[in-house]
Amino acid sequence: MSYEKLEKRFQQLHHLQHLQAICSWDQATMMPDGGNQARGEALAEIALIQHQKLTAPEMQEWLDNAENETLSESQQANLKEIRRRWMNASLLPESLVQARSLAGSRCEHAWRGQRKNHDWKGFEPNLKAVVDLTREAAQIRGEALSLSPYDSLIDLYEPGMTSHTLLKIFNELKTWLPQIIRQAGDIQSKHTPEQPQGPFPISRQKSLGLHAMKLFGFDFNHGRLDISAHPFCGGVPEDVRITTRYDENDFMSSLMGVIHETGHARYEQGLPKEWAGQPAGEARSMAIHESQSLFFEMQIGRHPAFLRKFSPIIKRHFGDDPALDADNLIQIYNKIEPGYIRVDADELTYPAHIILRFEIEQALIEGKIEVKDLPEVWNSKMQQYLGLSTRGKDGLGCMQDIHWTDGSFGYFPSYTLGAMYAAQFAGAIEQEVGDIGSLIESEDGLPHIFDWLRRNVWEKASLMSTDEILTLATGEALNTAWFKRYLEGRYTAE
């Protein structure tokens, strides 16, 4: 059967992807600088071999034959994903794939040093090489998929999503979000939370993070926690590697970062074992992935009920400081404050960071602006949306994210889509299982929440589309009303 040959091919690809994932994790966490050149070449080689296996001449024949074979519903879903993968991979010439991998690796590595020095001049030529190759790829993809170049990139991270839909959604947010921000600001102006004073020893921060991971059900037999410049969730479902970074003077952002990555990790660890190694068994999309990390962070981690429960554990690590009282932590962790850095942004101003990047990416990929314009365009939009100038501070501006360094344009909208999906899932849980605050407060409430996510999201993997997952789990496709209701409840109730 051709379908079986396809499954076998993807099992092989899964094994190669395993090596690639672990070596990429190592590159970000363990590798000394001097190893980077050789690592980049090795990763480019394995990417090339994967690409060759995925686009080998026999694949098209197998795919066409498999369409006429008798398959179960799941196998049909798998076949659909296999075809999607094959299309995505076949569209681009091999030389372009390898050139993008090399340019990305070089740009990302140099960026680690350049960012903190606001070294735009050093960064610019590396990024230009990445953008040039990304435009070339987007052009080819767009033509083949009958999408605009930028839409063809968005489709990589949230299949089926378009800039047209995003524009509509973002415009809806623009109608009601400023009002919530204003109301929240008024309420929050009445109290000034007290910033906990360090130092907070790294070893205790690590221990606190591990404690949170246990509480959130991370499986340490199939994963670990390490340190990297930019936190991420990597590895493979059988061995999920999450990372954080520590600041001796601030434990709070690392703690919430660990909870966030734990959400990504549990999604990976909870994918259906019987579909391991097959496209249908992998995470649905980056946006659904982000919905899980944001669920963990926003719907649980920053929930007042959770912080009331966790405050005594924090105090056990850092001492009985009044700044570590639950009420104070709740205020800090839900504080609204426009800032430069997306990853540090609060939930209400975060969409502005995304809308800004969405608009810049679309213009950049479609050639309406150039790499050299980025600092100025960024600065002007930041002034407009958040009233902040990034002039001469590109490390806090257009150089702040890792995504562009390796050509991941089209990715950013996933964050805000994820936030909206998470709120929609939380709403459905409140209807089906019970009030989230009460579940957090109760002895075994968290596992009930995780079980709902496992059944409704993790185990669905890519066996259906995002719209189908949302509809089965919540009764409808994406509807921004759930997000609005959640934000109002969290930020405007006094």
- Among residues 93, 132, 199, 223, the one that binds a copy of itself under rule CB under 8 A: 223
58 counts as binding a copy of itself under rule CB under 8 A: no
Fill in the per-residue mask, 274 to 313: x = in contact with a copy of itself (CB under 8 A), - = not in contact.
--x-------------------------------------
Of 236 and 307, the one with the shorter C-beta distance to a copy of itself is 236
Residues 190-219 that bind a copy of itself (CB under 8 A): 219
- Residue 221 interacting with a copy of itself (CB under 8 A): yes
Calpha distance 104→290 (Å, rounded):
23
Nearer to a copy of itself, 20 or 465 (CB): 20
Interface with a copy of itself by CB under 8 A: which range of 20-28, 154-162, 165-173, 473-481? 20-28
- Looking at beta carbons only, is 39 or 204 nearer to a copy of itself? 39
- Considering only 45, 67, 69, 327, the residue that binds a copy of itself (CB under 8 A) is 45
What are the beta bridge partners of residue 198? none
Residues that bind a copy of itself (rule: CB under 8 A) add up to a total of 35
Smallest distance, a copy of itself to C-beta of residue 281, A: 13
- Shortest reach from residue 219's CB to a copy of itself, in Å: 7
Q: State yes or no: residue 23 binds a copy of itself (CB under 8 A).
A: yes
- Map residue 288 onto helix, strand or coil: helix
Tokens of 273: 């074992």
Region near a copy of itself per CB under 8 A, out of 35-43, 58-66, 125-133, 161-169: 35-43
Stretch that binds a copy of itself, among 33-41, 326-334, 403-411, 470-478 (CB under 8 A): 33-41
Q: Which of 463, 101, 97, 25 is nearest to 278 (CA)?
A: 463
What kind and span of H or E run contains 412? Answer: none
**Is residue 31 a contact residue for a copy of itself (CB under 8 A)?**
yes
The tokens of 106 are what? 């070089």
Q: 482 burial class (0-12, 13-18, 19+ CB within 10 angstroms)?
A: buried
Q: Pick the catalytic residue: 7, 261, 282, 290?
A: 261
Going 197 to 202 to 207 to 212, the CA torsion angle's sign is positive
**Burial of residue 121 (number of CB atoms within 10 Å: 0-12, 13-18, 19+):** exposed
- Angle between the N-to-C axes of helices 413-432 and 149-157, in degrees from 0 to 180, rounded to the nearest 10: 40
Q: Say if residues 128 and 371 touch (Cβ distance below 8 Å).
A: yes
Piece of the chain touching a copy of itself by CB under 8 A; list 29-37, 99-107, 418-426, 448-456: 29-37
Residue 378's CB is within 10 A of a number of other CB atoms, namely 21
Shortest distance, position 15 Cβ to a copy of itself, whole Å: 4
The secondary structure of residue 464, as a DSSP letter, is S
List the beta bridge partners of residue 240. Answer: 223, 235
Q: Show the site string, 236-265: x = touches a copy of itself by CB under 8 A, - = not.
A: x-xx--------------------------
Pick the closer one to a copy of itself by CB: 31 or 167. Answer: 31
Q: Is 98 in the site for a copy of itself (CB under 8 A)?
A: no
Neighbouring residues of 423: CB distance < 8 A, sequence distance ≥ 6: 298, 299, 482, 483, 485, 486, 487
φ, ψ at 369 (rounded to 5°): -130, 165
Rg of the Cα atoms in the chain: 22
Question: C-alpha dihedral over 97, 461, 298, 196, to 10 degrees?
Answer: -60
Could you confirm whether 290 is annotated as catalytic?
no
Shortest Cβ 17–a copy of itself spacing (Å): 8
Task: List the alpha helices (DSSP H) in 94-222.
Answer: 94-114, 120-145, 149-157, 163-188, 202-215
Q: Which two tokens stand for residue 42?
A: 């090795």
Distance from the Cα of residue 274 to its chain's centroid: 25
Tell me: does residue 125 bind a copy of itself (CB under 8 A): no
Q: Which of 5, 26, 140, 437 binds a copy of itself (CB under 8 A)?
A: 26
Contacts with a copy of itself, 446-475, as mask; x by CB under 8 A:
------------------------------
Could you say whether residue 432 binds a copy of itself (CB under 8 A)? no
Check residue 46 for interaction with a copy of itself (CB under 8 A).
yes
Residue ranges of alpha helices (H) inside 55-119 are: 57-67, 73-90, 94-114
Cβ of residue 314: shortest distance to a copy of itself, in angstroms?
25
DSSP state of 402: S
Amino acid at 42: A
Of the listed pieces 10-18, 105-113, 417-425, 468-476, which binds a copy of itself according to CB under 8 A? 10-18
How far is the C-alpha of 477 from the C-alpha of 432, rounded, in Å?
17
Q: Which residue carries 């605009």 as its tokens?
A: 148
> Does 182 contact a copy of itself by CB under 8 A?
no
User: Under the criterion CB under 8 A, does residue 15 sit at the interface with a copy of itself?
Assistant: yes
Which chain residues interact with a copy of itself by CB under 8 A? 12, 15-16, 18-20, 22-23, 26, 30-35, 37-39, 41-46, 49, 219-224, 236, 238-239, 276
| Positions marked catalytic | 261
